[in-house]
Structure 1
Amino acid sequence: MNARSALFDLYGDHLRTRGRSAPIASLVRLLAALDIAAPAARTAVSRMVRQGWLSPVRLPQGRGYALTTKAVRRLDEAGRRIYRDAPDTWDGRWHLLVIQHIPDRARRDRLRAGLGYLGYAALDDTTWISPRASAELEPLFATEGVRAERFAAGYDGDVRGLVARAWDLDGLARAYERWIDEAAELLATRPGEGDEEAFAVRSRLVHEWRKFLFRDPGLPATLLPDDWPGTRAARFFDEEAARLLPAASRFVDRCLDGR
């Protein structure tokens, strides 16, 4: 786990609901529990400030860092997807994007990665689909200076066949099976008995689970194969994350209080 990813996890999973800010000393202490050294933690904080995710603030405990509006929007959306807070309903309509041609390869690659994170799949170089419109499209298009035509469309054909062509569900299913095995091993070898250990174990569990934000488009259940392993993985994650949360929260609160 690198320091920048750990900070995103920490703010998203704990600090987003605790005032959205923390003293630098607390951030260093919390990341130390994840075997991240103080210099790496401070470097990651500085990098996130330059990238517009954090902003320096003065707190009663001293110098600290708060989430920016951009970061809050991203972490709120990530939280909804990680904990599946949105209802799993679908009206059968697809959100379709027809994007202008982008000659610059770097911009094109960034846009592709951004749309993939938001749950869209490419049908060709300029046409993308998702079962739901994302609230983060506007910031992405503004950042990359891209225009797109948008449509709500039905599909006159084999919907599951379309899904199988657009997304690698077989590869995603294998990834979920591996995650279940690896998470069970983590919990067996590091059960998280004490508060700090519970925080460390839960952080690693959330960190690995969060990676599915970049792979899983969050398709409605009606579009997924029967006995989808992602459902079993989500149930396992929910149970273990909830079990470890009280002890992990106590450790976070102690670090924020400087105890």
Structure 2
Amino acid sequence: MNARATLFDLYGDHLRVRGGRASVAALVRLLAPLGIAPAAVRTAVSRMVRQGWLRPVRLPHGPGYELTPKAVRRLDEAAARIYRTAAAPWDGRWNVLVVPPIRERPRRERVRASLTYLGYAPLTETTWIGPHASTEVDAVLAAESVEATRFDAVLDGDPAALVARAWDLDALGRSYETWLKDAEQLVGSLPPGAAPDDAFAVRSRLVHGWRKFLFTDPGLPKELLPADWPGERATAYFEREAARLLPPSAAFVDHCLTA
């Protein structure tokens, strides 16, 4: 598991509701069951500080790091999408972004990656659509000095054809099926009465694998998804097992934070 991505998972899944801060020593203890070495933890933390996700803070148990406001916004939106808590009835409207051409390739790729993460898909090089307006999109574009025209619109045509043009639902469905098979094997490897650190490790890997859908699933309304959508079965399994493994995982987190 990647140390930086795992730290995002840790802060979003456990530390966000505990004040969004932890000592360096606690971070090292928390990532140890996942096989992440202390040096890798410290390197990932330093990188997250440079990128504006964490900032140093003095804690009773020693030096540590807390979430920045930028990170809090990103993690709150990610949590709503990971646990599918933000689902609302779709009103049939699409959020449309029209951005100017971006000549610099690195900047263009950053914008593309950010908009994809937020659930948008390109119809052309400069026109993007999403099923819902993201609260982060203005900040993302401003960070890259991109001024976009943004508005809601109703499609005059077949929504299914628009979805098929913008997103590869067949590939996404296969990805959900593969994830579900792997997740069942992962959870099944945990024996009854497992120690809290083992439950934490399995749950962390479960969340870590599920997190990839933040970058591939735009969160389309049910009306636009195929019948018997594999994502629904995968979501039900994830929510059930993540909730079941939360109490022992939380006990391990609390122990590491106060040790």
Structure 1 equivalent of residue 208 of structure 2:
207
Provide Cα deviations, 1:198-225, integer angstroms capped at 9, x if missing partner. Answer: 0000000000000100000001111111
How far has the Cα of 1:152 moved from its partner? 1.0
Q: Is the 8 A contact 1:191 1:201 kept in 2?
A: no
Cα distance in 2 for partners of 1:210, 1:191 equals 24
Cα distance in 2 for partners of 1:42, 1:108 equals 30
Cα distance in 2 for partners of 1:157, 1:96 equals 16
Structure 2 equivalent of residue 234 of structure 1:
235
Cα distance in 2 for partners of 1:69, 1:164 equals 36
Gaps of 5+ in 1: none
**TM-score, L = length of structure 2:** 0.98
Cα distance in 2 for partners of 1:237, 1:130 equals 24
How far has the Cα of 1:88 moved from its partner? 3.1
Structure 2 equivalent of residue 252 of structure 1:
253
Q: Which amino acid aligns with 2:61?
A: Q
Q: Which amino acid aligns with 1:27?
A: L
Which 4+ stretches in 1 moved above 6 angstroms?
A: none
Cα distance in 2 for partners of 1:8, 1:65 equals 12
Structure 2 equivalent of residue 198 of structure 1:
199
Write the mapping of 1:3-22 to structure 2, written as runs, cut at 5 A.
Answer: 3-22=3-22
Matched, 1:23 2:23: yes
Structure 1 equivalent of residue 89 of structure 2:
89
Cα distance in 1 for partners of 2:29, 2:229 equals 39
Write the mapping of 1:1-150 to structure 2, written as runs, cut at 5 A.
Answer: 1-150=1-150
Matched, 1:221 2:229: no
How far has the Cα of 1:143 moved from its partner? 1.1
Cα distance in 2 for partners of 1:178, 1:50 equals 35
Secondary structure of the corresponding residue to residue 103 of structure 1: coil
- Tell me how many residue pairs correspond in the alignment: 258
Q: Is the 8 A contact 1:191 1:198 kept in 2?
A: no
Gaps of 5+ in 2: none
**TM-score, L = length of structure 1:** 0.98
- Taking only aligned residues, the RMSD between alpha carbons, in angstroms, comes to 0.9
Secondary structure of the corresponding residue to residue 173 of structure 1: helix
